[in-house]
Amino acid sequence: MEHSTLKIEGMTCMGCVRTLTSVLSALPGVNHVAIDLESGIAKVDHNAAMTSLDALGEAIEGAGFELV
């Protein structure tokens, strides 16, 4: 299990946090997602063999946010 810490731009409210949390949680091998709105930091526990860091980034951008 990888513990990735990602910096995300574009989240403005708790609705964004909920949206992104559910998008990331739905990816295969993602175990836990914790997103802090104020800092823009997302902590994701994931099986990198199933969902790589790149795949997380693609999902984030696909949801309309930006991985910094």
Site string for Cu ion, 8-47 (x = CB under 5 A): ----xx-xx-------------------------------
Closest CB to Cu ion among residues 14, 50? 14
Least distance from C-beta 18 to Cu ion, angstroms?
Answer: 8
What DSSP assignment string belongs to 13-47?
Answer: SHHHHHHHHHHHHTSTTEEEEEEETTTTEEEEEE-
3-state SS class at 56: helix
Least distance from C-beta 61 to Cu ion, angstroms?
Answer: 16
